[in-house]
Amino acid sequence: MTTSIFANFKGPGVRIQESTQGYRSLSIASFETVYMIGSSASGDYLTPTQVTSLTDFTNVFGASPSEASVKLFFRNNRRGLLYFVRTPIAKRFTITVSTAVAGAYTATINGTTVTYTAPASPTPTLASVASGLLDAVNNSSVASAVTAISGDSTDKVVIRADNPLDNLAVTVGSNLSVAALNLTTPAATDYVYAIENSFDSQDDWTQGFLIAPQAFQLLTTQSDRLSVGNAMEALASDESFDWVALIDAGSGLTVAQAQAEGILYTSPQGHTGFYYPYLTDLEDGVVPPSAGVAGMATRRYREEGFQQPPAGAKFPVLGVKDVVTKVNTQQQEILNPLGINIIRNLRNKGVVVWAMRTRSSNEFYTFLNTRVIMNVLNGTLRKGFDNELFSVVDGQGVLLASIAATAKSVCSRLWRGKALFGATEAEAFEVKCDFENNTPDELEQGNVLLEVYVVPAPAMEKLLINTIRVSIGTLPLNQDQVEAQLIQPETQSNTQS
């Protein structure tokens, strides 16, 4: 049965039905937003909230260990777009084994009793009872809501709520004692929970930088910092987000320690950058660099375009007096190839980000500006074809041609803005969406493939200048000399005349 477009046109007459066709000019995605993870005295949990200044931040969130980083960001970009995410602190209880004897040890967690029975042989110890109770909790029905981890000594077990917003109640039986562990700042697992549960891709968050300066400054264990950094990389590299994570080194690290920590982070497609050392702000406080880098980068993007690297003497880090640890040129020559970005206080330049690398070992993703260019392209195309979804693929190729033309328009604008490299458009990008790369089998499944090949504009990291001293009269003949020789006889002739 053939479907007629006149099926609902019942009476005689003329009806006009207007529609659109052809390619559309898409809005280029921005990369000017910064998302900061931290804790505070007030404000909503797990809700990215825009703040427009330090005053606005303190009015909404109150006292916060992130205050210095918020201040540093706005000193580098007064009109910056900053969203702050308040991290909740999960409730925790410490269970201490007071006596090691054979028999039952019980802990009641949120109304459910968990029992560990210590055997008579071998003779129980405080550590063995604690370990047995830990395993019993993690293998019980309450393990879906809580996690048991080792305490700060072998006779202790910490019970932690998996959801920081959930309540937690713990009581214990004989030979055990329990006490609430009241943390004033989040643990690594709290930061990770906030990173993983504050953003929904369907909420259409604009692309930008993800930072958590407070976490890296206050977490004293390297493995804890690594957990937070890996969670940031996972979010930033998620194809639904395409952000860039700026990771700080731990507080008080030496150059050698920063090197050892930096290489622990991996980012296959360059969604993470690692920065060292810390900075001294105008109030003589020590502050992680990521907020300053993010502020400087977004300021440069607004003034010169997102294709520019977040580094260099042209855009120094504002609102700081010095770096906490001075890294010399010889040390940086070791660190830079490893993808560890160094901030330096250079004479006549100020405090500058003197590197622009990612934590990727792939040569296609060595530099941060490449990652940002690809992020903007991906973000633009990702949101650009909602109107084409659920449309019939015609046999004449009109829909496919329209999709290809739209993508070409995006690439052309990026090329004209110097984000793509090439003397011509043909050298900078190629777009393909036709019946050659869309087979009948795929089309029958409702699938359409758009392939976009691009050459991101590279950025200059090193400049080699060769100066060559030659003898009089031995300069190679260059274009200026050729032109001079052509002009000279004419000049002499005019003089003689």
Q: Does one domain contain both 138 and 58?
A: no
Measured between its terminal Cα atoms, the distance across the chain in Å is 94
Q: Does one domain contain both 65 and 144?
A: no
pTM above threshold 0.95? no
Please report, as a single letter, which amino acid is at residue 326: K
Q: Does one domain contain both 343 and 446?
A: no
- Token match 């041609």: residue? 401
pLDDT band (50, 70, 90) for residue 19: low
pLDDT of 290 above 80: yes
Q: Bridge partners of 468?
A: none
Q: Does one domain contain both 176 and 113?
A: yes
Give the residue from 320, 346, 370 where a domain finishes: 370
pLDDT of 476 above 90: no
Q: Does one domain contain both 176 and 191?
A: no
Question: What integer best gives the mean pLDDT of the chain?
Answer: 93
pLDDT of 3 above 80: no
Q: Does one domain contain both 228 and 98?
A: no
Q: Does one domain contain both 329 and 464?
A: no
Whole-number Å distance between alpha carbons of 169 and 91: 9
Domains held by the chain: number: 3
pLDDT of 11 above 90: no
Whole-number Å distance between alpha carbons of 339 and 4: 62
Which helix (H) or strand (E) segment is 286 a member of?
strand 286-287
Structural domain boundaries, residue 39: 33-87+187-370
Q: Does one domain contain both 164 and 196?
A: no
Return the axis-axis angle of helices 222-237 and 188-197, rounded to nearest 10°: 10
Give the residue from 316, 345, 370 where a domain finishes: 370
Q: Does one domain contain both 252 and 325?
A: yes
At 276, which CATH number? Answer: 3.40.50.11780
pLDDT in tens, 130-169: 999 999 999 999 999 999 999 999 999 999 999 999 999 9
Whole-number Å distance between alpha carbons of 40 and 58: 9
Q: What is the pLDDT of residue 386?
A: 87
Q: Does one domain contain both 296 and 390?
A: no
pLDDT of 5 above 90: no
Whole-number Å distance between alpha carbons of 409 and 216: 42
Any domain includes 428: yes
Whole-number Å distance between alpha carbons of 100 and 482: 97
Q: Stretch 373-383: mean pLDDT, rounded?
A: 94
Q: What is the pLDDT of residue 190?
A: 97
Query: DSSP letter string over 395-460?
Result: TTSHHHHHHHHHHHHHHHHHHHTTSB--SSHHHHEEEE-STTTS-HHHHHTT----EEEE-BPP--
Q: What is the pLDDT of residue 383?
A: 86
User: Is 471 in a helix, a strand, or coil?
Assistant: coil
Whole-number Å distance between alpha carbons of 432 and 420: 17
pLDDT band (50, 70, 90) for residue 1: very low
pLDDT of 484 above 70: no
Tokens of 350: 């100020």
Strands 146-150 and 156-161, by their bridges, are antiparallel
Cα 275 from chain centre: 13
Measuring CA to CA, which residue among 175, 18, 190 is closest to residue 87? 190
pLDDT in tens, 320-377: 999 999 999 999 999 999 999 999 999 999 999 999 999 999 999 999 999 999 999 9
Whole-number Å distance between alpha carbons of 285 and 292: 14
Q: What is the pLDDT of residue 496?
A: 58
Any domain includes 38: yes
Where b means 16+ CB within 10 Å and e means fewer, 68-92 reads bbbbbbbbbbeebbbbbbbbbbbbb
Cis bond leading into 309, ω under 30°? no
Give the residue from 370, 404, 435 where a domain finishes: 370
Any domain includes 15: no
pLDDT of 491 above 60: no
